[in-house]
Amino acid sequence: MPEGLSPIEAGKKLHEHTTQPHQPDATRHSRTVQIGEALLLSLVTIAAAWSGYAAASWGTESRLELAQAATLRNLATRADLSALETRNFDSSTFNAWFTAFTLDDPNKQAIAERRFRPEFKVAFDAWMATDPFRNPRAPPGPTYMPQYQLADQAKAEALDREAEATSAAGHHAGVVGDEYIRITVFLAAVLFLVGIGSTFKLPTIRYALIGVGSLLLILATALILQQPGLPG
């Protein structure tokens, strides 16, 4: 047998000698990249699930608040119409009394006064106490007196205020839901980077993608912390 190595065998041995020391490093880098990608993927999955759930919850809250605001506005409109009917009734009974007064008919005045609502009678008596037929500074009629109060009118105003507050809360919930959706887009970008990172063999490229994904995850986490939690 010839001693020594042939040129081909020597080339093979040289190649094995030059690549063999680097194999442990390549394996270590590969494991580090895989661990980093797995960790990043786990965190992003949890954050994306939370952000998506929060966006859906706030979207539902927005729809409920806006629907409630619409219902309150309808109730306010009904109460306002009821107050208008009551005001018209008070005006008609007062006109009947005033007609009897101008005719100087006490009996008809008494009949008209019996038709007054109790709340209107309070305002009427207060108006009469101002001596309106001789006092030029007296209010034009009982409906201009502070004692004249319409319960339905006050109810309509209260419902309007509540509807405004509920509508504002609904719009705010919609804005929060949109913010969570925007955060979900950032997290989806991280998932994309992790996904395409596995197609590259060079560890440096995968490290770079992990770094960019980590920055996006940090940004998304900061945005999540700035948002309110789930609607209560």
Check residue 17 and give its pLDDT: 41
Is 22 inside a domain boundary? no
Structure tokens belonging to residue 208? 């770079």
Is 105 inside a domain boundary? yes
Burial code of 39-76, b = ≥16 C-beta within 10 A, e = fewer? ebbebbeebbebbbebbebbbebbeebbebbeebbebb
Q: What is the pLDDT of residues 115-124, one digit of tens each?
A: 999 999 999 9
Average pLDDT, the chain: 84
Q: What is the pLDDT of residues 25-58, one digit of tens each?
A: 556 657 777 787 778 888 888 888 889 899 999 9
Is 7 inside a domain boundary? no
Q: What is the mean pLDDT of residues 65-82?
A: 96
Is 133 inside a domain boundary? yes
Q: What is the mean pLDDT of residues 125-133?
A: 94
Number of domains in the chain: 1
H and E: helices and strands count for the chain: 6, 0
Is 148 inside a domain boundary? yes
CA distance 88 to 192: 68
Is 179 inside a domain boundary? yes
- Kindly write down the DSSP assignment for every residue of 172-232, as one continuous string: HHHHHHHHHHHHHHHHHHHHHHHHHHTT---HHHHHHHHHHHHHHHHHHHHHHHHS--S--
Domain housing 109: 35-226
Check residue 13 and give its pLDDT: 40
CA distance 4 to 10: 9
* pTM for this entry: 0.69
Is 137 inside a domain boundary? yes
Q: What is the mean pLDDT of residues 61-79?
A: 96
